[in-house]
Amino acid sequence: MMKRDECLKILNQHRGDNAIVVAVYNAGFDWRRISQSPLNYYTVGAMGQGSSHALGIALAMPHYKVIVLDGDGSLLMNLGSLVTVAAAAPPNYYHFVCENGDYEANGSHPIPGRGTVSFAGHARAAGYPHTFEFDALDKFEAEIGGLLTLKGPVFATLKIVIGEKSPHDFAFANSIETHRQFAAAIDEVLAREGR
């Protein structure tokens, strides 16, 4: 098992300047501590929707990597999105699911199928051409660079435990201002590109 924040710190080393990161709930709270960027897009409040927000962004921004930091409980609420994403087949879409087996934000009750369900298996069956599972930090560190060069959609389960705790700032993640800051950053990107 990997500590989530240690795992995300390694991912951040490979993020590059232009990747857009869509992050949900606790993965999002950790990500905000680790990788502050105007191209971070947080989504809470309608649980399970991160993968779908990210699909819209990936379609709109085909020249930018879009990295999704999903949760296991979240993805269970929107499993159909795996099929939708695979069918749309955005080549710039990288879907990471932090699997700790718990509804961490709601009292750490176990998810249905904890320890049995295979998220990478679901993604593979849905049609993702590349699927991975990582449960060791050294292996993740060795492979993440190559994974991010693959043509998407790419899916990776990160088998994690909670690391250093991050502030749960739901008001920040769920605010119009935060969302508008992201849109303004996209405007700057589009202006730079003359679009």
Partner 1 sequence: MGEIVLSGRDIIGALKAARIEYVVALPDATMSEHVLWPLAKTNDFKLVRVCKEDEGVSICAGLTSCRKRAALLMQYTGFLDSINAIRAIAVELALPICMLVGMLSKEPGVPVVRSKLYSVRIVEPILGALGVDHFCMEGPDDVKMLPAAIDRAYARSLPLAALVGHRVTP
* 188 lies in the site for partner 1, by CB under 8 A: no
* 53 lies in the site for partner 1, by CB under 8 A: yes
Among 1, 60, 125, 150, binds partner 1 (CB under 8 A): 60
Cβ proximity of 94 and 53 under 8 Å: no
**Residue 81, both tokens:** 């999105």
CA 85 to chain centroid, in Å, comes to 13
* 105 lies in the site for partner 1, by CB under 8 A: no
Reported residue count of the chain is 195
* 117 lies in the site for partner 1, by CB under 8 A: no
DSSP SS3 for 94:
strand
**Distance (Å, rounded) from C-alpha 63 to C-alpha 90?**
11
Among 11, 27, 57, 75, binds partner 1 (CB under 8 A): 57
Applying CB under 8 A, the site for partner 1 has a residue count of 32
Residue that the structure tokens 């960027």 belong to:
37
Chain residues binding partner 1 by CB under 8 A are 22, 41, 43, 45-46, 48-49, 52-61, 78, 80-81, 83-84, 87-88, 174, 176, 179, 182-183, 186-187, 190
